[in-house]
Amino acid sequence: MASTNDLKNGMVLNLEGQLWSVVEFQHVKPGKGPAFVRTKLKNVLSGKVVDKTFNAGVKVDTANVDRSDMQYLYRDGEDFVFMDSKTYDQIHVPATTVGKAAGFLLENQEAIVAQHDGTVLYIELPASVVLEIAHTEPGLQGDRSTGGTKPATLETGAVIQVPLFLEQGTRVKVDTRDGSYLGRVS
């Protein structure tokens, strides 16, 4: 248990049986009436974001979330197998939990795995990763300076938009949060 006065960004709360991560919080002390805390909470499992207001000093139930550095090993059917970098324990994470992160996961890549009571909540990748373009259509002569984009399939199977001049085999830096192209890597 913690007080609303102790809230911090990233803290996970257990409200009505669901886990919510604090995205933003603001202590408000109006001229009249009691102080309160305005928060923006994100559901850990569904990603839904809601605004919630608490009276100042109210007790809230915090959830114990273990964040571990893990290494992605391989895919086993519908599951992704991760290994704890310290204990070498392996865990199987369902594809539904990995979600969009699967498009940016390469074998032996580091990731943060968040767990609550032995259940994996989510996978957190680095902000950007370097991947190779496995397939893209060739750019046409004269298209080099137009600033247009074309779809490119990465080595992980994810499809992103890249500038027209990029070719198959080029290594690119990709933002894992929204799948956007960040630049070429030599």
What digits encode the pLDDT tens for the residues 26-84?
Answer: 998 988 888 999 999 988 877 788 999 988 888 988 888 888 889 999 988 888 999 98
Residue 12: the pLDDT is: 86
Q: What would the mean pLDDT of 110-124 be, rounded to a whole number? A: 84
Of 72 and 148, the structure prediction assigns the larger pLDDT to 72
Q: What would the mean pLDDT of 8-13 be, rounded to a whole number? A: 83
Task: Decide: pTM greater than 0.75.
Answer: no
Distance CA 57, CA 34 (A): 10
Tell me which H or E stretch contains 96: helix 95-98
Residue 66: the pLDDT is: 84
Delineate the domains of the chain, giving CATH numbers in brackets. Answer: 2-60 (2.30.30.30), 66-124 (2.40.50.140), 128-185 (2.40.50.140)
Tell me which H or E stretch contains 97: helix 95-98
Distance CA 173, CA 132 (A): 9
Residue 40: the pLDDT is: 92
Q: What would the mean pLDDT of 2-9 be, rounded to a whole number? A: 83
Q: What would the mean pLDDT of 134-144 be, rounded to a whole number? A: 72
Of 179 and 39, the structure prediction assigns the larger pLDDT to 39
Instruction: Tokens 């032995």: give the residue.
Output: 118
Q: 149-154, long-range: CB within 8 Å, 24+ apart, which pairs?
A: 149/181, 154/103, 154/104
Angle, CA of 171, 175 and 179, to the nearest 5°: 95
Angle, CA of 38, 41 and 42, to the nearest 5°: 165
Tokens encoding 83: 């290994």
Residue 112 in this model has a pLDDT that exceeds 70: yes
Which pLDDT band holds residue 145 (cuts at 50, 70, 90)? low
Residue 16: the pLDDT is: 85
Residue 97: the pLDDT is: 82
Angle, CA of 162, 168 and 173, to the nearest 5°: 45
| Mean confidence (pLDDT) of the chain | 85
